[in-house]
Amino acid sequence: MTPIQLVFLFVAFATLWAAFMVVTRNNLVHAALFLVIALFGVAVLFVMLEAGFLAVIQVLVYIGAIAILMIFAVMLTRGDVDDIPDITNRYAGWVGLVAVLFFSSLVILMAQWPSFTALAKPILSSRDTIVELGTALVSPNGYVIPFEVASVMLLAALIGALVVARPRKGK
């Protein structure tokens, strides 16, 4: 058991615990705060996978913007329907069973795969993955189409969400 493995296990259990709290808390503000813990755990995992840029983005976008948007939406939709006694629908027991079965079958299936226990080869320290990512995102042989489509998608999301969320005139 090396220190890095201990760190991984701690982060993994914290993430799973927080994720479990997200789906079981009745108070949605608490659920959103547990979501922040889970997202931060994933950011730490990105660091351990040597994807530092994605870790920073995870904190910046998920925790800094998406979680905040969630909390605002919770605040906006709080009314007398809040704190409903049963937070899950009537299929919750079956769904939980299916989720456990799905998890175990995933693990069993993956265990058959020869690369399942592969170890990481060290990445050369001379490599700059951010420059590589930037080059790949705009190179015609790489991801330029997804790059430009992403901007159109974000434009559509911005306009669509503004149209839907803003109150109609005269109301």
Partner 1 sequence: MIPLSWYLILAAGLFCIGFYGVLARRNAIAILMSIELMLNAVNINLVAFWRFLAPESISGQAFAVIVFAVAAAEVAVGLALVISIYRSRKTVIAEEINLMKW
Partner 2 sequence: MLDQWLFVGIFVSIAAVFPLLPLVMARFLAPRKPNRIKQETYECGIETVGDTWVQFKIQYYVYALVFLIFDIETVFLYPWAVSFDVLPLFAVFEGVLFILILAAGLFYAWRKGALEWS
Binding site for partner 2 (CB under 8 A): 4, 7, 47-48, 50, 52-53, 57, 60-61, 64-66, 68-69, 72-73, 75-76, 78-79, 82, 123, 125, 128, 130-135, 137-140, 144, 147-148, 150-152, 154-155, 157-159, 161-162, 165-167
CA distance 18 to 20: 5
User: How many CB atoms sit inside 10 A of residue 46's CB?
Assistant: 17
CB of 103 to partner 2, least distance (A): 29
Report the residue number, 100 or 132, with the smaller CB distance to partner 2: 132
User: How many CB atoms sit inside 10 A of residue 42's CB?
Assistant: 18
CB of 114 to partner 2, least distance (A): 27
Does residue 37 bind partner 1 (CB under 8 A)? no
Q: DSSP code of 125?
A: T
Q: DSSP code of 141?
A: T
Q: Binding partner 1 by CB under 8 A: which of 1, 2, 114, 141?
A: 2
CA distance 151 to 115: 36
